[in-house]
Structure 1
């Protein structure tokens, strides 16, 4: 597991805010802390003050209840759901039913800090996702051998978060005057079941 120090997170968020972005994707989290000492909640609030929406991963401590992270109400907290296929070397099993369902490791609510606020806000594809992979961190192949690759199949809320960020970015491009709250509301209230049932 990699660790980010609070000063690095704050610096990255400040730099991103000053770059003039409209949306921030933050695929990291830690234990749930009170808002006034949670560095991600504080940084996301600073972004909100500049009309920037922050999408962040809910954590991978599921299926236990009360494990969700990034629970500040001004953050779009993203859980991971399954997809309707299973991809293995040279084969794809399709369709897998039922799908989508909450992925096993995706952290669950309620938040013990604000139990009256339902988190995560949304659950999007985050299981068996084809993703770009850094050569600095070897991936494990099906035989258990570590290899350096450019792409890998991975799972977790860090792979779900960019899906929600992309949705927020699309909405912002169509409705540039919408606030982060309006964008978050639109994402949370217009979801529907997949047509590929």
Structure 2
């Protein structure tokens, strides 16, 4: 006997429906109201507990907002930098990442940073400053996170003034677009913090 795919699918769906219907009752369930019996000697007693008037709210699996925001993308962030501050031989600039999208998004870990020549040639890759852990920040629309870039005005190997400066280029965490910022820092001992 040969069967068609439609017949097999129909038989399978029917068997599945029967199995699921049998699995739903464990004997402790309250009776479900159904049509009245044809003959009855006594009326059915009414339940002693009233039925709930509203259902508890539960998160929807198909809700419009995810439980955890997606990573911020290139178009979600405005990247800017403040002026360079000087403390002894340390030079520092704060980089700000502002969520300009209408949705929350997440930044995780360190931004990328380089110091480049006026022509855009790489002078030095800015090292990540040691941290206990990489933060996971959720930015609401218009919220900002910051990281700082520090460099030394003195070459620690020679004790002489650092010979070169470079223009700061930053890439936000989780993104690929580099931002040339109007910040010039010495290339000696340059480090960047995680976002915070």
Asked if Structure 1 and Structure 2 have the same fold, meaning a TM-score greater than 0.5 normalized by the shorter chain, the answer is no
Relative to its length, the structure with more helix (as a share) is 1
CA radius of gyration, larger in: 2
User: TM-score category by the smaller chain?
Assistant: under 0.3
The normalised TM-score by structure 2 is 0.20
The normalised TM-score by structure 1 is 0.20
